[in-house]
Chain A
Amino acid sequence: MTKGATRPAWWVGAAALLAVLPWVPGLQSDFGRSLLSQMGIAAVFALSYNLLLGQTGLLSFGHAVYFGLGGYAAIHLLRAVNGGWPIPVPLVPLAGAAAGLGFGIVFGALTTRRGGTIFALITLGVGELVRAASLMLPSFFGGEEGVTASRTEAPRWLGLDFGSQLQVYYLIAAWLFVAAILIHAFMRTPVGRLCNAVRDNPERVEFVGYDPRRVRFIAFSVAAAFAGLAGGLHAINYEIVTGEAVGATRSGAVLLMVYIGGVHHFVGAVLGAAAITWLQVSLSDYTSAWLLYLGLIFMGMVAFVPGGLAGLAMIHLSALRTRAVAAIARSYLLALPFALATLAGAATLIEIAYRRSTQPEAGALMTLFWIPMDTAKPWPWIGAAGVLALGAAALARIRPRVAAAWERAAEEIHAHA
């Protein structure tokens, strides 16, 4: 898990990076900054979920409930601000955090009595319950239309009116930084350590004299508070909150983010949030099959790379220090063209199939990997299938090499450890 002390230098570096990002060429447009804002919100949400799943081992399928309820609370506060309340916009997300904490305590008292699969099922039920209820209480949830507010009709704060996306991004980045520090600090408190203990061995925690249910309840409430904070930021960014903010899709998305990013690593949550947000927003432009790719990547991660992207990076970094790294690099280099071929072949087949079934009016002609092809004819299918088969066969041959190189690296790491 997380090892070593955290040096302040890293935090300063992170802050500097957050400050500089919206000026990076390519991200300077309104859309680029909007993308960064979305990533920031997702990162706060993912960090809260990491606290729940990664640190305390609680798998929740309904975490979006606290995100959404926090968002609704914040947007109602923003509406009040539009009506004259003298609260500056940067403090509005606190309403989200408060709502998240409140609902977390109320629902948490009921749901955290058990852990494991029962807990997962309860969260699923509560999530669906809240989602269904969101359509029945229009005064709070606004019905299908949702609730809107304006972030500019508010008292100015340091001369800022938060009309521009840039200002909103900095607000989100600031809260992200604060949330990250707070969660990191929380994990270092005795309660935080107990969360890890409950994740690893709840029976033992009981024997040592602590109540795992209490610990789960505390972790749940804190996670809900930060989820609500993310919801509040969401409300400010979009100036609208609708029922799907509490829905199953959003709960599923944060699960994907945290797991793909790396469930055991603090930074994994941020990584996963950035990656999945980018996929959702931008990849969908290039291919209508993006959700299929995401699902496959997720399944692959669960089965083969449980540590996620962050875990993968960790492993490689520790391998860097060994002498076997050259062998590993060589085997990767050897495998690379075949891996690319396999992926290209599979992707081509998938893209062609999608084009034919979902966008027939766009015609049969496509250009994939710089090769124009007529999908109505059989040869693109045969060609892609052939490339896929050859690539896969070659990879199967090379796999023992890669495995052997990694075994040597693992031996060396264990010898040094």
Chain B
Amino acid sequence: MREIVVFSLLNGAVYGLLLFMLSSGLTLIFSMMGVLNFAHASVFMLGAYLSWQISRWIGFWPALVVAPLLCGLVGAAIERYGLARVHRLGHVAEILFTFGLAYVIGELVIMAWGRNPIENRVPASIDFAAFRIYGTSYPFYKVLMTMISVGMFAFLWLAFKRTRVGLVIQAALTHPRMVSALGHDVPRLFVLVFAIGSALAGLAGVIGGFALLTEPNMAAALGPIVFVVIVVGGLGSIPGAFIASMLIGVVQTFAVAVDYSLADLLRALGMGLPPGSALREMLAIKLSQAAPLIPYLLLVLMLIVRPRGLMGTRDT
């Protein structure tokens, strides 16, 4: 019992950190520009593929630096040459543009690397067990993931609170038009923000690439959950995104470990099951089976009850 709690906490935390790495960039972009960047998970995928390709040429540690930089450049290009034209057409058009972009990036990845998963194995330099608990070893790359994640959080927090650009961006999070009126070059800020956001996604992709499976479907698999994180965490809040990621990661992982259903609960309370097979079926669903539902349930509830999220500073 203790084992499973400890492992679920550890696994959940790691999963949560991966979600945070992925969603931190999106929080930035969404909060600052109001753009629901559907292509964010695609840039994450691009980061995974690029890091694999680059590690084959120059090794893993350089790839850890180069791949996110490339993704940042891609992000800058997307904003400068693509999205910039679309801003004046409204939020719907921006969303749709990134929606199409997600398809395009996905297909470009297929064009370059094929439709099958690629063998993105953990690089030998970090492929060892970090520690053992209760007889199960914990791989080092998950520890690395933790370190990078925390590092991202620290970087973003410091960058926002301590640098001038950060302050301007923070202001733009809540009052974008005022910032523009005060004379700051908002289009350039946008390019910078998009670039940073994409670089963060790329960095998440480097690690995510061998923690998960590197295949063209990666983006579609993780994309929706990331939206859940930023909405639940709150628009405009990095700490909120962190809390939301950890919450979702841990809760979902714990749920998988629970093999009980509402029917079991009713029986334990001494109550009988209501008649009707459909209702019975719903009550008999084990929590472990229902685990994939949890993030979306959370999203819908949050949007209905408190649209600005847990720690949000803006409504939309």
B124 located at the interface, meaning its Cβ lies under 8 Å from any Cβ of chain A in the complex: no
A354 proximity list for chain B (CB < 8 A): 110-111
Contact check, B277 vs A139: say whether CB atoms are below 8 A apart. yes
| A121 within 8 A of partner (CB) | yes
* A106 CB–B CB distance under 8 Å: no
Q: CB distance A121 to B100 under 8 Å?
A: no
Chain A residues closer than 8 Å to B307, beta-carbon distance: 114, 118
B249-272 vs A, Cβ < 8 Å mask (1 yes, 0 no): 000000000000000000000000
**Interchain CB contact under 8 A, B97 and A124:** no
Given A121-B227, A292-B108, A129 contacting B300 (CB threshold 8 A):
yes
> Which of A113, A140, A255, A358 lies in contact with B278, CB distance below 8 A?
A140
A137 near B281: Cβ-Cβ < 8 Å: yes
Residue A9 at the B interface, CB < 8 A? no
Instruction: Please tell me the number of chain B residues within 8 Å of chain A, measured between CB atoms.
Output: 50
Contact A299 B115 (CB under 8 A): no
Q: Is the CB of A136 within 8 A of B316?
A: no
Given A122-B303, A128-B224, A291-B107, check contact A137 B293 (CB 8 Å). no
Distance from B244 Cβ to chain A, minimum over Cβ atoms (Å): 14
The smallest C-beta distance from A360 to any residue of chain B, in angstroms, reads 8
How far does the Cβ of B115 sit from chain A's closest Cβ, in whole Å? Answer: 5
Q: Are A136 and B304 in contact (CB under 8 A)?
A: no
Smallest Cβ distance from B307 to chain A, in angstroms?
Answer: 5
Q: Which of A210-228 contact B (CB under 8 A)?
A: none
B86 adjacent to A303 (CB under 8 Å): yes
Contact between B103 and A294 (Cβ–Cβ < 8 Å)?
yes
Residue on A with the closest CB to B224?
A128
Chain A interface size band reads 35 or more
Q: Which residues on A sit within 8 Å (CB–CB) of B108?
A: 292
- CB B71 to nearest CB in A, in angstroms, measures 19
> Are B111 and A302 neighbours in the complex by a CB distance under 8 Å?
no
> Is B278 a contact of A139 with CB atoms below 8 Å?
yes
Q: How far, in angstroms, from A366 to B121 measured CA to CA in the complex?
A: 34
Q: At the interface with chain A, which of B62-70, B87-95, B170-178, B195-203? A: B87-95
Interface centre among A132, A139, A140 (most CB of B within 10 A): A132
A90 to B36, CA, bound (A): 42
User: B91, B111, B282, B315: which contacts A357 (Cβ < 8 A)?
Assistant: B111
Nearest CB of chain A from residue B226's CB, rounded to whole Å: 11
Q: Is B186 interfacial (CB-CB < 8 Å)?
A: no
Complex CA gap A306/B92 in Å reads: 11
CB neighbours (8 Å) of B126 from chain A are none
Q: Is the CB of A298 within 8 A of B100?
A: yes
Contact status A302-B113, CB under 8 Å: no
Instruction: Decide: A121 and B231 in contact? CB cutoff 8 A.
Output: yes
**Given A116-B91, A137-B278, A248-B224 in contact, is the A125-B293 Cβ separation under 8 Å?**
no
Bound-complex Cα distance A110 to B297 (A): 13
Q: Given that A125-B296, A302-B100, A358-B110 are contacting pairs, would A117 and B304 also be in contact in the complex, using a CB cutoff of 8 Å?
A: no
- Are B296 and A128 in contact, with the CB atoms below 8 A? yes
Which residues of the other chain, B, contact A113 by a CB distance below 8 angstroms? 304
* CB-defined contacts of B129 to chain A, threshold 8 Å: none
Q: Are B103 and A291 in contact (CB under 8 A)?
A: yes
- Which chain B positions have C-beta within 8 A of A291? 103, 106-107
Given contacts A118-B316, A132-B292, contact A299 B282 (CB under 8 A): no
Interface: B59 (CB within 8 A): no
Q: Is A66 positioned at the interface, with any CB of B under 8 Å from its CB? A: no
Specify which of B99, B101, B277, B292 lies most central, judged by the most chain A CB atoms within 10 Å of its CB: B99
Contacts of A248 in B (CB 8 A): 220, 224
Residue of A nearest to B282 (CB): A137
B300 touches A126 (CB 8 A): yes
Partner pick for B281 among A138, A259, A302, CB 8 A cutoff: A138
In whole angstroms, how far apart are the Cα atoms of A407 and B233 in the complex? 48
Contact call B89/A117, Cβ cutoff below 8 A: no
Q: Is A296 interfacial (CB-CB < 8 Å)? A: yes
Assess whether A353 is interfacial by the CB under 8 Å rule: yes
Q: CB-CB < 8 A to B290: which residues of A?
A: 136
B97 x A132 contact (CB < 8 A): no
Q: Would A255 and B99 count as touching, CB distance under 8 A?
A: yes
B234 smallest CB distance to A (angstroms): 13
Take A295-B107, A303-B82 as given contacts and tell me if A124 and B224 are in contact as well, using a CB distance cutoff of 8 Å.
yes
Report the minimal beta-carbon distance from A242 to chain B, rounded to whole angstroms. 17
Q: Which residues of A contact B113 (CB under 8 A)?
A: 357
Say yes or no for A120: interface residue by CB 8 A criterion.
yes
- CA distance in complex: A117, B103 (Å): 20
Rounded to whole angstroms, the CA-CA distance of A294 and B316 in the bound complex is: 30
Instruction: Flag whether B117 is at the interface (Cβ < 8 A).
Output: no
Per-position 1/0 for A351-383, Cβ under 8 A of B: 001100110000000000000000000000000
Q: How far is the CA of A255 from the CA of B98 in the complex (A)?
A: 13
Chain A residue at minimal CB-CB distance from B228:
A125
Query: Could you show 10 A-B contacts with beta carbons less than 8 Å apart?
Result: A117-B91, A132-B292, A137-B282, A291-B106, A292-B108, A299-B101, A302-B97, A303-B86, A306-B93, A357-B110
Additional 15 contacts, C-beta under 8 A, given A59-B95, A125-B227, A302-B100 = A59-B96, A125-B296, A133-B293, A137-B281, A137-B285, A140-B278, A289-B111, A291-B106, A292-B111, A296-B100, A298-B96, A298-B99, A298-B100, A306-B93, A353-B111
